[in-house]
Amino acid sequence: MARIDLVDLAHSYGGNDAPVESFALKPVTMTWRQGGAYALLGPSGCGKTTLLNLISGIVTPSRGKILFDGADITPLSTQKRNIAQVFQFPVIYDTMTVGQNLAFPLKNRGVPKDEIDARVRQIADLLDLTFYLDRKATRLTADAKQKISLGRGLVRSDVAAVLFDEPLTVIDPELKWQLRSKLKALHRELDLTMIYVTHDQTEALTFADTVVVMHDGRVVQSGTPAELFDKPEHTFVGYFIGSPGMNIVPAVVSGHEARIDGHVIGLHRNYGVLPAGARIEIGVRPEFVNVAAPASGLLSATIERIDDLGRVRFARVRIGDAKFAARVPPGFSVPDNSVGLVFDPAHVHVYADSRLVEGVA
Amino acid sequence: MDKTINQKAWFLVLPVFLVVAFSAILPLMTVVNYSMQDTFGNNQFFWNGVGWFKELLDPSTDLGGRFLASLGRNLLFSAIILAIEVPLGIVVALSMPREGWTVAVCLVILALPLLIPWNVVGTIWQIFGRPDIGLLGYTLNGLGFDYNYVSNEFDAWATVIVMDVWHWTSLVALLCYAGLKSIPDAYYQAAQIDGASRWAVFKAIQLPKMNRVLLIAVLLRFMDSFMIYTEPFVVTGGGPGNSTTFVSIELVKIALGQFDLGKAAALSLVYNLIILIVCWIFYTVMTNAGAERPVKPGGA
C-alpha cells in the first residue's frame, strides 16, 4: 500500500546515450495515489509494458526515479519492491495444486501457516476457485489458470501495487466481462493500488478511475474516462478513445470562429493567440455533430456510407479530402449524395500541433 | 458408392516392404531360427527347441550363469551412470549462460566428447589410465594411490564409469539446456515477483519444465549404457577376470569367440526383449505422471 511517484522516469533499450526520441519511454513525471485503479492505455509498442516493468523492477530505468511513499526504490530488485504482477499469459507452477499456487508468494515470504490458509481461502472465494483448491493446477483450462495467476497477484495484502499486463488476452470474450467486473469488485474489496495495462479502451474505461493514455513512449493524457472523452488533450487521445474516434480536420481559427473550406463554424471560446506556424486543427466527436438536410448556412459534405450500430447511426462523410463521421438523428432519412453538418460549438476543440489549445471564455 | 479397385497400389508398397524385409525381418527371423538350434562345424544344425532359453534363465548352467552375472553387472553399471549423469547434466545445464557469445563456446565444448568415436574414447582412457605412461594413472600412483585398472576390479569399474560420465554427461546437459531455454521469461519474472528462492525456482519451474527432456535423456542413456560394448572392451577387455564383462561383451564372446550361434541367438533375443520392456516401463511410468485430462471448470 503506497503512493507511487514517477520522477523524470525514462527508459531506452538502446542505452542511456541514445537520442531521447528513440527512447521506449520518454521522461514522465506522475503520481499515483494509494488505492487507485489505474489503466495504462495505448496501442502496441507505445511503452506501456515498459513502464509497468520499470515499476515492478523487471527492467531498470535508464533515467529517473520511482518512489513508493516517498522512498526511492529504483535500485531495489523485484523481490524487495513488494509488488505483485500478473502477466499476459498464465504462469502456473505445474507441480503444485491450485491452493499451493496461491500460497506460493506468501510461503516464500515466511508468512505463518494459518494466516496463509485464511488468505488463500479468501482469495479463492473471491475468484470462485475454492472448488479447485486441492486439484493440480496443470489440468485446468486457460482461463482458470489465468484466474490462478490473478489470485497469486492479489494474495498478498501488503503489496504496494498490483500490476496487470494485459491479463485478459487469453480469456474468452464472454468470460472477459465477468473477470473484468470481478477485478473491479476485488479492487473495492481489497483496497489495493492496481495498475492495468491494456490496448483495449473498453477494458481500460470500465476498470479504471484514472486512465493514462500513452502514445509513442509518451504519456499524452491522464484523466477520468469522462475527461478523456469530453476534453482530449491530444488529437491521439481523441482518435484512440471513442468509437468512432474524434474527427480531426485542418481549419483556420481566429477569435470565435473556425473556417473549414471557407465555411464558418462558431466556437464556444475565444482563440485570440495561437502559436505561430503551428498546424491548426479542430476536433469534434461524432456524437456532437448532426447531419441535416443540405442548407446554405451549413457546411456540406458528401456521404460515403451509413454505419448502423443499432442504438445509433453514424454517417461516414467527406469534407473535401478529409474523412468525417457524424451522428444521424433518429428518424432522419439520409439523402443520397450530400448533407449539411450541424456542430455543437461547446464540444468543438482546437488543436495546435496535435495539442489542445485552451480558449478564453 | 463404387470403390475403385486398383491392385497396382501394391507395387508402390513393394520397395519399402523389401527394404524392411531385408534389413529387419529376415535377419531377426534368422536369429530366431538359430536360437532354436545347435550348431556344429560344417554348417550342421540340430533342433534344440527352447533348450537354450531354459539354460539362459538357469544360473546353475554355464550359459545361464554367465548371462545372469553379466546382466547384473550391466544393470548396476546403468544404475550408477544414470545416478551420476542425470544430476550432473542438470547442474551443468543450470550453470550455463543463457545468452551472449559464451553460449556458443559452452555448446562447442559440451559437444566435443559426443563427437568422438567410441573406440577412440576407449583408447584415450586406456592410455590416460595406464600407471606407467598415462597422465591419470601415473599421477594417481605418484600421489600414493595404488591405481591399476588392469589388476584391480574397483579401479576397472571406476575407470569405465568415469569414462562414460566424461563421454555422455554432455548429452544430458544439452538436452536439459534445451528444456531450460524453452521456459518463457515470464515464469522467471513471476517467480521473482512471488519472492521465490533459487531452490524454489528450480523445484517449481525448472525441474517440472525439464520433465520431458529428462525422460528422453534417461531413456537414451539407459539404452546406450545397457548396450555398452566398445569402450569397456577397449579399456579393460571385460577384465580383470570377468568383472567388467557386460552382456554385449559376453554375447560377442559366445557368438564369435566360441561360435555358439544357437546360444548367442537366444541370448540376443532375451537381451533385446529386456531393453524393450524396460524402455516401455520407463516411458509409461514417466508419461503417466501428470498426463490426465484437463478439468473444465464449471459454475464459475
How far A94 CA sits from the closest chain B CA (Å)? 7
Give the sign of the dihedral formed by CA B286, CA B287, CA B293, CA B294: positive
Residue of chain A with shortest Cα separation from B202: A93
Residue of chain A with shortest Cα separation from B196: A108
How far A210 CA sits from the closest chain B CA (Å)? 25
Q: What is the DSSP string of B92-158?
A: HHHHS-SSSHHHHHHHHHHHHHHHS-HHHHHHHHHHHT-TTT-HHHHHHHHTT----TTT-HHHHHH
Residue of chain B with shortest Cα separation from A53: B189
How far B278 CA sits from the closest chain A CA (Å)? 26
How high is the pLDDT of residue B299? Answer: 37
For A348, counting Cβ atoms within 10 Å of its Cβ (0-12 exposed, 13-18 middle, 19+ buried), the class is buried
Helices and strands (H, E) in chain B, number of each type: 14, 2
Nearest-angstrom CA–CA distance, B298 and B300: 6
Nearest-angstrom CA–CA distance, B44 and B23: 25
Is the pLDDT at A18 greater than 60, yes or no?
yes
Residue of chain A with shortest Cα separation from B289: A95
How far A165 CA sits from the closest chain B CA (Å)? 11
3-state secondary structure of B77: helix
Asked if residue A77 lies in contact with residue A57, where contact means CB atoms within 8 angstroms, the answer is yes
The closest alpha carbon to A271, from A246, A284, A297, A252, belongs to: A252
- The amino acid occupying position B131 is P
pTM here is 0.73
From chain B residues 263-292, the ones with a CB under 8 A of any chain A CB are 290, 292
Q: B22 CB contacts (<8 Å, ≥6 apart)?
A: none
DSSP-assigned beta bridge partners for residue B64: none
Q: What is the pLDDT of residues A124-146, one digit of tens each?
A: 888 888 888 888 888 888 888 88
Give CA angle at A62 (A61, A64), nearest 5°.
70
Q: Which of A81, A126, A139, A163 to mutate to test the interface with B (most CBs of B within 10 A)?
A: A139
**Could A93 and B184 be called an inter-chain contact, meaning their C-beta atoms sit closer than 8 Å?**
no
Q: Find the mean pLDDT for residues A1-7.
A: 81
DSSP-assigned beta bridge partners for residue A97: A136
Is the pLDDT at B89 greater than 90, yes or no?
yes
Task: State the pairing for strand pair A83-86/B44-47.
Answer: unpaired
Q: Find the mean pLDDT for residues A157-170.
A: 84
Write a three-state SS string for B168-192: HHHHHHHHHHHHHHCCCHHHHHHHH
The closest alpha carbon to A247, from A316, A304, A308, belongs to: A316
Nearest-angstrom CA–CA distance, B237 and B229: 10
Asked if residue A318 lies in contact with residue A302, where contact means CB atoms within 8 angstroms, the answer is yes
Q: What is the pLDDT of residues B51-84, one digit of tens each?
A: 888 888 888 888 888 888 899 999 999 999 999 9
High-pLDDT (> 70) share of chain A, %: 100
Residue of chain B with shortest Cα separation from A125: B300
- Chain B positions touching A133 (Cβ under 8 A) are none
Nearest to A141 among B189, B290, B297 (CB): B297
DSSP state of B3: P
Chain mean position to CA A283: 20
The closest alpha carbon to A84, from A184, A154, A32, belongs to: A154
**Could A89 and B186 be called an inter-chain contact, meaning their C-beta atoms sit closer than 8 Å?**
yes
Task: State the pairing for strand pair A37-41/A194-198.
Answer: parallel
**Could B297 and A79 be called an inter-chain contact, meaning their C-beta atoms sit closer than 8 Å?**
no
Task: State the pairing for strand pair A313-319/A299-308.
Answer: antiparallel
How high is the pLDDT of residue B108? Answer: 93
Q: Find the mean pLDDT for residues B38-60.
A: 81
- Chain A positions touching B214 (Cβ under 8 A) are none
Nearest-angstrom CA–CA distance, A8 and A15: 16
Cell digits for A110?
Answer: 515466511
How high is the pLDDT of residue B296? Answer: 45
Nearest to A108 among B184, B194, B294 (CB): B194
Report chain A's mean pLDDT, rounded to a whole number.
86
How high is the pLDDT of residue B171? Answer: 94
- Chain B positions touching A179 (Cβ under 8 A) are none
Residue of chain B with shortest Cα separation from A105: B194
From chain A residues 43-82, the ones with a CB under 8 A of any chain B CB are 56-58, 77-79
Q: ipTM of the assembly?
A: 0.73
From chain A residues 137-196, the ones with a CB under 8 A of any chain B CB are 138-141, 143-144, 147, 149, 152, 175, 178
Q: Find the mean pLDDT for residues B172-192.
A: 90
**Could B190 and A152 be called an inter-chain contact, meaning their C-beta atoms sit closer than 8 Å?**
yes
A197: left (phi over 0), alpha (psi -120 to 50) or beta: beta
Nearest to B292 among A94, A139, A144 (CB): A139
The number of C-alpha atoms within 13 Å of A126 and in the hemisphere containing its C-beta is 25
Q: What is the pLDDT of residues A33-49, one digit of tens each?
A: 888 889 999 888 888 88
Q: Is any Cβ of chain B less than 8 angstroms from the Cβ of A228?
A: no
Report chain B's mean pLDDT, rounded to a whole number.
86
- Chain B positions touching A128 (Cβ under 8 A) are 299-300
Q: What is the pLDDT of residues B122-174, one digit of tens each?
A: 999 989 988 888 898 888 888 988 888 888 888 889 999 999 999 999 999 99
From chain B residues 133-192, the ones with a CB under 8 A of any chain A CB are 184, 186-187, 189-190, 192
Q: Which residue has the higher pLDDT, B292 or A19?
A: A19
Nearest-angstrom CA–CA distance, A324 and A290: 12
The 10 Å Cβ neighbour count of residue A202 is 12
The 10 Å Cβ neighbour count of residue A254 is 13
Nearest-angstrom CA–CA distance, A56 and A81: 7
Most confident of A257-271, B113-127, B231-245: B113-127
